[in-house]
């Protein structure tokens, strides 16, 4: 797949996992073992899973064109000026292509590396707020959350955004607490990189979180703090190559789009992107994307609000950095007129920290919690239901035939069951069983479910076929059925049209035309009495919007479309 060989699954990581399981208390070494296992799962998914249409494949195609053209300041998609997203993801993926060659693994690798920075920053910020144990738990919660596992193979700009935002919050909070200039500089470097990958949200998210903490604790000197000015200069210096490119390519319109329309325009209605999602969209998005920690995170969030209200008239020693950052960003995102589930992932490190602070208290002082038994039983039910889903998917939806992957899943399942029934001493079975459930879910998704789904993307399979046959781009046409994956996996920019007259002109002006199309395009050719030869057909389904008929093997064929690769010779056309 795009030049990547499938690796053999190694079981050594799971031996370490078993050794780690034996220990009674979470340690730094144990955390590193779990994180190593999770990182291996990320990397295996980065190799096995094809990029999803449309965003990831579009960004990968932009990076591919950037690498091939050498044009880094002026961004283009399919040789047309591109304005939608800042260029950092494209720059780093293009650099990765220059080292490792063009493949979906090389596209993802920079984001996976930056995500490691996000995990570390989550640990350090949680440690500074709640202690080392909470820091270790926060790193594991964040790294194992379903949405973050997904984000390390369905790579978009938000993957890096999330890491740079939590890095900047950690560094600026360290500056506020310790006064070191190095923390100030690194904090604004993080903000600059966050803005370079996504836009003004890279500044707004840290400001909202840190601003809540400063105001709540009445640290007035940090509101109009003169070092913020040189910090903003650092941000502008980091943004300057992009701003020069934007101005040269789009004039003042490009600068206005970047600083206002793309982000704030979604609140004012100036942005063209509008959907029908309601104000609760991110709530239910959170419930599935933060699995298996969603329930514990909700309890932690409510508990934190209770503590803050109780503490409001006291010496104000509670931290509200996490609470404020989560709440205000959620509200701002919910007011947007266009929403996608991953937009809110930027606060998942903060949610992980809040969850870890609750878990740290909960695990050490379980007896003092009135609802200990209710919380524990409910979370175990969540874990059991997820394991039922893992087994159901692996046996019925897409039967798993890989023995090594079954061994891995069964090993983690056994450990998870043992942790549920074991009378824990010190480190509670609740956290361990939930973490093991998260690891089991990640194994199933990255090593089985999503690799299987990939074969239902006609743009991917047809692109690989075109690349293998080495059809020249000038003899290719995508008619009606175009998607970005066709460009990336074929390794060439394929002309595309939805206009039947343009299609007819292409047929008449080519001795031989290789056409990628769908059922509608096929009917069009038949109505125009254009003879064709079918080269290959491909199963096609939009896998980012799964449906029950598709997931049901009995109805999957009816729910799946078909795309075609056809050969049309000039004398085949009826003039």
Q: Are residues 206 and 77 in the same domain?
A: yes
Residues 6+ positions from 211 with CB-CB distance below 8 Å:
324
Instruction: Report how far apart, in Å, the C-alpha atoms of 51 and of each of 40, 48, 385, 449 are.
Output: 18, 10, 28, 14
Instruction: Tell me how many domains the chain contains.
Output: 2
Contact 538, 516 (CB under 8 A): no
Residue 270: predicted pLDDT: 53
What φ, ψ does residue 533 adopt, rounded to 5°? -120, 130
Residue 10: predicted pLDDT: 44
Question: Does 218 reside within a domain?
Answer: yes
Q: How far apart are the first and last CA of the chain?
A: 40
Torsional sign, CA 356, 358, 359, 364: positive
Domain boundary among 317, 346, 364: 364
Q: Are residues 238 and 108 in the same domain?
A: yes
Question: Does 325 reside within a domain?
Answer: yes
Q: Are residues 321 and 469 in the same domain?
A: no
Burial of 399 (0-12, 13-18, 19+ CB in 10 A): exposed
DSSP 22-91: H-SS--HHHHHHHHHHHHHHHHHHHHHSPPPTTHHHHHHHHHHHHHHH---SS-EETTEE--SS-SHHHH
Beta-strand (E) ranges in 470-560?
A: 476-479, 496-497, 512-518, 533-540
Q: Are residues 348 and 464 in the same domain?
A: no
SS3 content of the chain, % helix, strand, coil (to 5): 70, 5, 25
Q: How far apart (Å, rounded) are the C-alpha atoms in residues 91 and 84?
A: 15
Written as six digits, the tokens of 18 are: 């078993």
CA trace torsion 295, 297, 298, 301 (10° rounding): 160
Residue 109: predicted pLDDT: 96
Residues 6+ positions from 460 with CB-CB distance below 8 Å:
1, 50, 51, 454, 485, 489
Would you write out the chain's pLDDT as a tens digit for each of its 575 residues?
A: 444 444 444 444 444 454 444 444 567 788 889 999 999 999 999 999 999 988 899 999 999 999 998 888 888 898 888 888 899 999 999 999 999 999 999 999 999 999 999 999 999 999 999 988 899 999 999 999 999 999 999 999 999 999 999 999 999 999 999 989 999 999 999 999 999 999 899 999 999 999 998 888 888 888 888 898 999 999 999 999 999 988 888 888 888 877 877 776 565 555 555 556 667 788 888 999 999 999 999 999 998 888 888 776 654 567 889 999 999 988 888 877 677 777 889 999 999 999 999 888 876 665 555 667 788 888 889 999 999 999 999 999 999 999 999 999 999 999 888 888 765 544 467 888 999 999 999 999 999 999 999 999 999 999 999 999 999 888 999 999 888 899 999 998 999 989 888 888 888 888 889 999 999 989 988 888 888 899 999 999 998 888 999 999 999 999 999 999 999 887 544 43
Domain boundary among 314, 344, 364: 364
Q: What pTM was estimated for this model as a whole?
A: 0.88
Question: Does 374 reside within a domain?
Answer: no
Question: Does 537 reside within a domain?
Answer: yes
8-state DSSP, 530? B
DSSP 396-432: IIS----HHHHHHHHHHHHHHHHHHHS--SSS-HHHH
Residue 269: predicted pLDDT: 57
Question: Does 7 reside within a domain?
Answer: no
Domain range enclosing 60: 49-364
Edge-to-edge strand list for the sheet holding 533-540: 496-497, 476-479, 512-518, 561-569, 533-540
Question: Does 453 reside within a domain?
Answer: no
Torsional sign, CA 157, 163, 169, 174: negative
Residue reference for tokens 């399979």: 461
Domain boundary among 364, 381, 409: 364
Contact 130, 356 (CB under 8 A): yes
Question: Does 469 reside within a domain?
Answer: yes
Question: Does 493 reside within a domain?
Answer: yes
């Amino acid at each position: 797949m795009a030049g990547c060989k499938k690796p053999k699954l190694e079981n050594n990581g799971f031996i370490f996992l078993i050794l780690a399981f034996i220990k009674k208390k979470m340690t730094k070494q144990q955390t590193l073992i779990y994180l190593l296992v999770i990182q291996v799962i990320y990397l295996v998914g980065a190799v096995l899973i094809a990029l999803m249409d449309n965003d990831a494949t579009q960004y990968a195609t932009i990076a591919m064109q950037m690498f091939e053209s050498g044009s880094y300041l002026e961004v283009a998609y399919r040789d047309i000026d591109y304005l939608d997203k800042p260029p950092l993801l494209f720059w780093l993926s293009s650099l990765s292509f220059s080292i490792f060659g063009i493949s979906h693994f090389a596209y993802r690798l920079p984001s996976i590396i930056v995500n490691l920075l996000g995990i570390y920053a989550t640990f350090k910020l949680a440690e500074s707020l709640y202690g080392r144990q909470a820091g270790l738990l926060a790193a594991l919660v964040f790294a194992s959350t379903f949405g973050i596992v997904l984000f390390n193979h369905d790579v978009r700009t938000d993957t890096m955004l999330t890491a740079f935002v939590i890095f900047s919050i950690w560094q600026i909070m360290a500056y506020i607490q310790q006064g070191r200039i190095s923390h100030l500089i690194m904090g604004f470097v993080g903000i600059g990189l966050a803005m370079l990958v996504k836009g003004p949200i890279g500044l707004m998210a840290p400001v909202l979180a840190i601003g809540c903490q400063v105001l709540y604790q009445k640290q007035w000197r940090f509101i109009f703090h003169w070092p913020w000015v040189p910090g903003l200069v650092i941000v502008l210096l980091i943004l300057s190559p992009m701003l020069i490119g934007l101005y040269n390519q789009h004039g003042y319109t490009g600068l206005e789009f970047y600083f206002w329309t793309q982000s704030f325009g979604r609140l004012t209605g100036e942005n063209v992107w509008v959907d029908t999602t309601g104000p609760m969209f991110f709530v239910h998005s959170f419930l599935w994307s933060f699995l298996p920690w969603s329930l514990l995170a909700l309890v932690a969030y409510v508990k934190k609000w209770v503590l803050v209200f109780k503490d409001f008239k006291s010496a104000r020693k509670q931290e509200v950095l996490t609470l404020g950052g989560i709440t205000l960003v959620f509200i701002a995102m919910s007011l947007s007129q266009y929403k996608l589930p991953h937009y809110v992932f930027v606060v998942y490190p903060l949610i992980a920290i809040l969850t870890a602070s609750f878990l740290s208290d909960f695990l050490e002082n379980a007896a003092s919690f009135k609802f200990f038994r209710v919380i524990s039983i409910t979370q175990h039910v969540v874990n059991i239901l997820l394991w039922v889903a893992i087994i159901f998917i692996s046996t019925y939806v897409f039967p798993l035939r890989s023995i090594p992957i079954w061994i891995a899943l069964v090993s983690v399942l056994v450990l998870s069951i043992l942790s549920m029934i074991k009378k824990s001493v010190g480190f509670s079975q609740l956290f361990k069983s939930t973490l093991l459930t998260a690891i089991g879910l990640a194994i199933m998704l990255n090593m089985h479910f999503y690799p299987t789904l990939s074969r239902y993307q006609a743009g991917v399979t047809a692109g690989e076929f075109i690349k293998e046959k080495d059809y020249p781009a000038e003899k290719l046409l995508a008619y009606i059925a175009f998607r970005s994956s066709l460009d990336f996996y074929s390794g060439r920019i394929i002309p595309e049209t939805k206009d039947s007259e343009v299609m007819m002109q292409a047929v008449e002006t080519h001795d031989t035309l290789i056409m990628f199309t769908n059922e509608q395009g096929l009917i069009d050719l038949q109505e125009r009495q254009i003879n064709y030869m079918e080269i290959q057909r491909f199963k096609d389904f939009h896998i980012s919007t799964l449906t029950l008929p598709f997931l049901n093997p009995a109805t999957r064929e009816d729910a799946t479309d078909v795309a075609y690769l056809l050969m049309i010779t000039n004398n085949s056309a009826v003039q």
